[in-house]
Amino acid sequence: MIQTKITSVNQFLECIPNRTSILFQPVYRGQGDKDWKLIPSFYRQKLEVYDNSNYNIIPNYDLVEETMLDMFYQKGISLLKRYKIKNRLDLMVIAQHHGLPTRLLDWTESPLYALFFAVEDLNNKSDACVFEYLPSTFGSYDGVAKEKCFKNDCHYSFISPRHINERVKAQGGYFTLHPLLKKLEIKPLDVLISESTNSYGLRKIIIPYKFKESIKKDLHKLNINCFSIYPDLDGLAQKIKEDFSEIPLLFKGHQYKSNN
């Protein structure tokens, strides 16, 4: 996998080539820590395993996923009506954006949005990174949503979801749906890609921690901020909070700066 290091927005844009295939554009993923593996949140959980024989230990991933999604739907049904859910994959996409661990890994068609995700949390003192990937194929959303394919344990699928909520639409969202494993070994996506015929398509762009804040400020000047990426009340509140954290407070002729 090719690795590049950048220290500014301009440098980042300069290193984004016009890489296209006949059908596809690159997709991007920003991460606050360059050492985080490309593993979806569902597989970052510590799940119990059961021994179904004297010889094989099988993880209960399928049972846990089914139960979590069922509970999300049953207990949230009154809140989910506006989404017009058509299948299990729709439900998983919505659950992912509300913080439920799923087998989906988020990507975006916007390199600047990915860069924002990488530098968004300044409390993370690690170097960040943006992954760039040029897929050789995309799975059919409806095809992947079918039960047989949805529970496939053999491969991952790049998919472009329906715009079922504002965040997916605003972020130009794509997803990797990772296989529903029937074994304990969890391979990060970069390993899976390296084992495929399209291993040349993945690149890692590293952002040293000391440049995160300046890059985030420059992105703000380009209107890449919490509200443009999270176009809901949560995103608006976060943007206002960040805007006012930079404004000095005046009191009796003295200047004070908020620390919050």
Whether residue 74 is found in the same domain as residue 121: yes
Whether residue 204 is found in the same domain as residue 144: yes
Least confident of 60-69, 94-103, 166-175: 166-175
- 189 touches 40 (CB < 8 A): no
Asked if pLDDT for residue 54 goes beyond 60, the answer is no
More confident residue, 198 or 158: 158
Q: What are phi and psi of 33, to 5 degrees?
A: -135, 120
Whether residue 20 is found in the same domain as residue 105: yes
Whether residue 147 is found in the same domain as residue 238: no
Whether residue 247 is found in the same domain as residue 205: no
Query: Which structural domain, as residue segments, surrounds residue 255?
Result: 233-260
Whether residue 205 is found in the same domain as residue 256: no
pLDDT score of 10: 94
Whether residue 138 is found in the same domain as residue 258: no
pLDDT score of 31: 95
Euclidean distance between the first and the last CA atom of the chain, given in angstroms as a whole number = 39
| Mean pLDDT, residues 11-21 taken together | 78
Whether residue 18 is found in the same domain as residue 128: yes
Whether residue 117 is found in the same domain as residue 163: yes
pLDDT score of 164: 60
- pLDDT tier for residue 40 given thresholds of 50, 70 and 90: very high
Whether residue 91 is found in the same domain as residue 47: yes
pLDDT score of 235: 56
Whether residue 124 is found in the same domain as residue 184: yes
Domain count along the chain: 2
Instruction: Output the pTM of the full model.
Output: 0.78
Asked if pLDDT for residue 182 goes beyond 60, the answer is yes
- pLDDT tier for residue 179 given thresholds of 50, 70 and 90: confident
Asked if pLDDT for residue 113 goes beyond 80, the answer is yes
Report the share of the chain in percent with pLDDT over 70: 68
Average pLDDT of the chain is 79
Whether residue 10 is found in the same domain as residue 77: yes
pLDDT score of 45: 78
